[in-house]
Structure 1
Amino acid sequence: MQLFAEFKAEILDSQHPEITEENCVSEGLSAAGKLHHVEIYCSDLGKSAEFWGWFLSELGYKELQKWPSGISFILADTYLVLVQADKKHCDSPFHRCRPGLNHLAFHAASRRQVDEITEKLRARGAVILYDDRHPHAGGPDSYAVFFEDPERLKVELTCGS
């Protein structure tokens, strides 16, 4: 529970002073099982930080920490970390079809937000995946945009099932 105390002191007290460790546990809001954070190693931290900083700010994330080899962004109690990979590991590019992580999916507030961010992604020159089936590439009940980050990691912004 030490991590909760540190998180509360740094973030929650200023934004949500009503949230305490006790009422989180007593109201069934325990963090057990929820995603805590994602850490992405980047071949070009500057390029990735600019891209992810823009995208995450559109979803309400704020910059949490910044240091010479990394940066993190937070929304509520989940955060995303970007770290500059060691040069010796940058020769082998990421590919989502290899064993390991395929993509990250984020909830959109609405279909309108999916549409707005899709247009902003296009204006930024981002690669939109499955463009011929957009915005239903995830199926007829799905409303989403699938795109690549600078490392070619697939990212999904979805409003639907």
Structure 2
Amino acid sequence: MKPIIDHIQITVKDINVAEKFYDQFLQILGFNIKNKVKAFIEENDFHVIEYTHELLAFAITSPREAFKNDSINRRKPGALHHLAFKASSRSEVDNAYLKLREIGAEIVSRPQIHKEYSENYYALYFKDTENIKYEIVCTNKE
């Protein structure tokens, strides 16, 4: 077996607010918004919006009623710390940075070399509108 991720599903506080952000963000990563599907899964009591790509499906999900007022914190046990997407070049990281600024992402760290990880670790860090942290990284020399 190869460690390939088939899909990712993230629970967001407000699916309507999040959808507007993810419609734009996922296009930056190469998703075609026309492939977006919405559903209500009655037996699990949640709404889901799934964005599909030939390499990965990415979904956002509404919270359970009991958790809808909880704050998002990546340091809580069981929480997603951050999710990193691999870019093929530093210019892809730079272009993503410019587009992310345009759509209102909170930039945590502009594109730069992070020598604490390696000599060629070029990354930007940002948060979505709900405080979920992401990274776009290139480990090539250029």
Match of 1:128 in 2: 107
Taking the TM superposition and a 5 Å limit, the aligned residue runs for 1:3-152 are: 32-62=2-32, 63-67=35-39, 69-100=47-78, 101-131=80-110, 134-137=111-114, 139=116, 140-152=119-131
Task: Structure 1: state its 5+ residue gaps.
Answer: 1-29
What TM-score do the two structures reach when normalised by structure 2? 0.78
Q: TM-score, normalization: structure 1?
A: 0.70
After TM superposition, give the deviation of residue 138 of structure 1 in Å: 6.4
Residue type at the aligned position of 1:112: S
Change in Cα spacing, 1:33 to 1:141, as seen in structure 2 (3 Å) is closer
Root mean square deviation of aligned Cα: 2.1
**Structure 1 stretches of at least 4 aligned residues deviating more than 6 Å after TM superposition:** none
Contact 1:66 1:72 in 2 (8 A): yes
Higher helix share: 1
Superposition deviation, residue 95 in structure 1 = 0.8
Identity across matched positions, percent: 29
1:159 pairs, out of 123, 129, 138, with 138
Q: Distance in 2 between matches of 1:36 and 1:138?
A: 30
Q: 1:142 to 1:33 in 2, by over 3 A?
A: closer
Query: Does the C-alpha gap of structure 1 residues 64 and 154 become closer, same or farther in structure 2, counting only changes over 3 Å?
Result: same
Q: 1:143 to 1:85 in 2, by over 3 A?
A: same
* Letter aligned with residue 59 of structure 2: V
Q: What amino acid sits opposite 1:33 in the alignment?
A: P
CA 1:122 to 1:38, structure 2 compared with 1: closer, same or farther past 3 Å?
Answer: same
